[in-house]
């Protein structure tokens, strides 16, 4: 099943729990360069093809997330919005549905590796015995690596730079906590989110946010 919440504001927050989903919430291209010639005869330069931004983004769509130190490896699925601006996220799947083993990339934000905040959320627990993808996320430390396997078969590596535990009830498009997670950024970031804290009968009262930054390679111009 799907759970929906409005994401039409400038900042859309994807906050996932095992039983509930809540919402609080240009790329420039390189200049063409002449192709060198090995003959002494002068020839007109040949321009290199300018990458198509949409095609380049498609090549780097996230397919798998790995956290080597924690032994985490999960398939990534994109989560979009419907025609009403409601985010579509799987939360009520049957107990043995593969969705419990997957993590969810907010495809209204940045593609991992591109300048900006990319966001991936995952469950911290599940309805059957065993760990969920982000059960061990609270044990992450600064300096830990997060890897994204892209559609083109290449791997991007990010490193943890900060860890925060904001309230689950943060709201507002201009909220500095939410802007820091989902707003614009001049660096290529990947932010991981899961539920955290005390279950209050409605949801967990906090969220764990692991902020990471790209260390290589840089797939997008000026990323």
- Provide the number of structural domains found in the chain: 1
pTM of the model: 0.77
Asked, for residue 127, whether it belongs to a domain, the answer is yes
| Residue linked to tokens 């201009």 | 174
Q: What is the pLDDT of residues 67-80, one digit of tens each?
A: 999 999 999 999 87
| Residue linked to tokens 């892209």 | 150
Q: What is the pLDDT of residues 124-183, one digit of tens each?
A: 988 889 999 999 999 999 999 999 999 999 999 999 999 999 998 887 778 888 889 988
Asked, for residue 34, whether it belongs to a domain, the answer is no
Asked, for residue 18, whether it belongs to a domain, the answer is no
The domain that holds 143 is classified in CATH as 2.40.260.10
Asked, for residue 6, whether it belongs to a domain, the answer is no
Asked, for residue 109, whether it belongs to a domain, the answer is yes
Dihedral angle of Cα 55, 61, 63, 66, to the nearest 10 degrees: 140
What per-residue confidence (pLDDT) applies to 11? 39
| Mean pLDDT on 83-105 | 75
């Amino acid at each position: 099943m799907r759970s929906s919440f409005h994401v039409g504001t400038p900042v859309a927050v994807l906050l996932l729990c095992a039983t509930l989903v809540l919402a609080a919430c240009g790329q420039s291209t390189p200049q063409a360069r002449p192709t060198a010639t090995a003959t002494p005869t002068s020839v007109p330069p040949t321009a290199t093809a300018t990458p198509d931004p949409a095609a380049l983004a498609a090549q780097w769509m996230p397919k798998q997330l790995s956290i080597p130190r924690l032994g985490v490896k999960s398939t990534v699925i994109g989560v979009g919005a419907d025609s009403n601006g409601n985010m579509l996220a799987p939360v009520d799947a049957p107990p043995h549905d593969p969705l419990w083993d997957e993590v969810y990339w907010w495809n209204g934000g940045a593609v991992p590796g591109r300048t900006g905040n990319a966001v991936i959320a995952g469950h911290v627990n599940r309805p059957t015995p065993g760990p969920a993808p982000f059960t061990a996320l609270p044990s992450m430390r600064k300096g830990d690596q997060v890897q994204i396997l892209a559609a083109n078969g290449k791997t991007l590596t990010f490193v943890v730079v900060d860890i925060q535990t904001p309230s689950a009830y943060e709201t507002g498009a201009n909220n500095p906590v939410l802007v820091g997670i989902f707003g614009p950024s001049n660096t290529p970031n990947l932010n991981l989110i899961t539920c955290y804290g005390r279950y209050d009968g409605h949801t967990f009262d906090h969220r764990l946010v692991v902020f990471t930054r790209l260390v290589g390679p840089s797939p997008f111009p000026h990323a």
